[in-house]
Amino acid sequence: MSDSLLADAGTRLQAAMKYVSISEDAIERLKYPKFSLSVSIPVRMDDGSLKIFQGYRVRYDDTRGPGKGGVRYHPNVSLDEVQSLAFWMTFKCAVLNLPFGGAKGGITLNPKTLSKLELERLSRGYIDAIADFIGPDVDILAPDVYTNAMVMGWMMDQYSIINRHISPGVVTGKPLAMGGSVGRDGATAMGAFFAIEAILPKFGLMPPQTTVAVQGFGKVGAVLAELLAKAGYKVVAVSDSQGGIYARKGLDIPSIRQYKAASQGIKAVYCEGSVCNIVEHEVVTNQELLALDVDILIPAALENQITEENANNIKAKYIFEVANGPIASGADRILEAKDIWVFPDILINAGGVTVSYFEWVQNRSGLYWTLEEVNQRLKQKMVTETEQIWSISQELAIPMRTAAYVHALNRLGEALNAKGTRDYYVNGRVS
């Protein structure tokens, strides 16, 4: 794991190793991704010009099942980032006991600069380039940053065209009309909400007295902010890539979501029907939001938002990682020294991949569940694994992040050992 982000991700693995009994073979296998693919995607632009985009797909490990992971469109996408995200997905799937390995994909671009027709050509071109590398039993795609159900629909359709048969199971997060699952759009936020609700009573925190700041008011952070507000929590700050707002008395999240949908901006407003009035608030930067004096901080944007440089500024006592890798490993020690509880991404944001698994199961069976059934199954999964990781944390007196990796390593170790290890081949006998 020589690349910077992947090496940083690997330090969390090292911290957990001392608490598990796992074979040297398993450790060696988990050091490196199984496959890393880089592709060039030619796209004919609307003005007639040809532009080449760089794309990636990484399958980190598939010991427990086919690879599973999203595809993101973002200017900062790189092979290093995609490998790191695939590494996290490997452990996330093991934490939730899903029959998947970890994978991830992405294309380096600013999707806001492309027309819808150009985005469709790009999405179909990506599948043309990686079609031999994916499949319902090999590697399954899903939405991520700046991709959505429409993009997933294009990708599934293109894969089906290439293979000359309908293959809904190759992609999750699809439109409902193409075999998508109800509940998938809000699954990451819903799963995080269930985990938060399971954890906070252990600290005696009750919703009306609990303040929350959410960094990242996108398709996950905005939904989670609204779920928390409806449950009675006082959401006092939210932000997007342009900055944020803070109101000590609390924000009306549904109104802010309505305003952002209409204007693509964030302002503290209260809406009645289509009429929105601005209410008293402070404008804050993303860094200022992270340093607010709140009970709960929810980073729901991108990686490495809390680092060694700003970790000492954090005042929240509880951090729930809804983004992937929002805290750099170097900040872990600082936050721990400040007695700040960090609840890790590989547990907290696992609702998305869990409902993706539900969608995959429904595609394979041809039987589809109601929203109530999906949310009930999601809650059971999230609460069960949250409680198990909490028990490991308490029993071993280790941080929740380390406990989550211990939990995942035990499951991954069993699967890797089942294929045979050095001890088996040197000392074992055929029975």
* DSSP-assigned states of every residue in 178-247: GT--TT-TTHHHHHHHHHHHHHGGGGT--GGG-EEEEE--STTHHHHHHHHHHTT-EEEEEEETTEEEE-
CA distance 106 to 81: 9
- Backbone φ and ψ for 269, nearest 5 degrees, come out as -135, 160
CA distance 253 to 238: 9
CA distance 297 to 406: 24
* DSSP-assigned states of every residue in 26-66: HHHHTTS-SEEEEEEEEEE-TTS-EEEEEEEEEEEE-TTSS
Burial of 277 (0-12, 13-18, 19+ CB in 10 A): exposed
**What amino acid is encoded at 306 in this protein?**
I
- Long-range contacts of range 37-45, CB-CB < 8 Å, 24 or more positions apart? 37/130, 37/133, 38/79, 39/126, 39/129, 39/130, 40/129, 41/107, 41/122, 41/125, 41/126, 41/128, 41/129, 42/125, 43/118, 43/121, 43/122, 43/125, 44/121, 45/118
**What amino acid is encoded at 310 in this protein?**
N
Query: Which of 68, 92, 104, 234 does the annotation list as catalytic?
Result: 104
* 89, containing H or E segment: helix 79-95
CA distance 356 to 349: 12
Output the six-digit token pair for 195.
């985990």
Catalytic site residue 31? Answer: no
Is-contact 68 142, C-beta < 8 A?
Answer: yes
216: left (phi over 0), alpha (psi -120 to 50) or beta: left
Active site residues: 104
